[in-house]
Amino acid sequence: MDIAWLETLETRVRDAAERLRELKEENAALKERIRELESDTGGGGWEEEREEIRRRVEALTRRLEELAEV
């Protein structure tokens, strides 16, 4: 019986296990980076900043519309 296919399977399983290990390390690093970025902005700072920008752009748009009517 030819069991060469078993060696191929073992190689593929080892490669897959190594890739999973790499992905777990990358995932952990990305989670840490997210924590760092969130702490730099105070957690919810992104939403607050986005809302402030939206309000200011809307105010500028209204002002431009008023000037265009004059």
- pTM attached to this predicted model: 0.53
43: left (phi over 0), alpha (psi -120 to 50) or beta: left
What percentage of residues in the chain have a pLDDT greater than 70? 90
8-35 pLDDT tens trace? 999 999 999 999 999 999 999 999 998 8
Mean pLDDT value across residues 27-49: 81
Q: Would you state the structure tokens that stand for residue 35, as one six-digit string?
A: 């924590």
